[in-house]
Amino acid sequence: MRLIDETVVIQAPPASVYAYVANHEHYQRWYPGVQAVAALDDMPHGSPGKVYRETLEIAPGRTADMTIRVVLAAPDSRFVTESELGRWLTRMDIEFSPAGTGGTRLTWRFHLRNKPLLPNLLFRLSAAPAMKRRTRAGLARLKSILELG
């Protein structure tokens, strides 16, 4: 079930945007609520199978740790991760495409992979609105970081 679908145009080449985003340790710099990210193996960033531990603020004063695995990495075009956050099975799918002269159109999608309908509906009602706000703010911050250096 797709919960979030947001697009931003960043005035930087797809290779630069992809390289920054595919290093999941950068997320704490740009995505609101991410408290810490650490690689759990020695694989190169952006490699399928690469695993990270992310600490995410899920509510004011409450954090949760989740394990994130890179499941698809197509340089300069697509980066996909899957994770488990408690009972929630998630998928983040980011597409990169050229936009204008030297820019990148980044499309960020967030999905729930849970099969039962009820948990998906509960998540959609309880957490999705805050996640949409975080995502919009995060993409604006990412744009600023990559455009301003």
If one counts the domains in the chain, the total is 1
pLDDT of amino acid 130 = 79
Q: Note every long-range contact of 91-96, with CB atoms under 8 Å and residues 24 or more positions apart, other chains counting.
A: 94/21, 96/14, 96/17, 96/18, 96/21
User: What is the span of the domain harbouring residue 12?
Assistant: 2-148
pLDDT of amino acid 95 = 97
Alpha carbon distance 74, 122 (integer Å): 33
- Model pTM? 0.88
pLDDT cut 70: percent of the chain above it:
89
- Report which residue type is found at 96: F
CATH assignment of the domain containing 98? 3.30.530.20
Task: Quick: pLDDT tens for 11-20.
Answer: 999 999 999 9
Mean pLDDT confidence for 116-134:
68
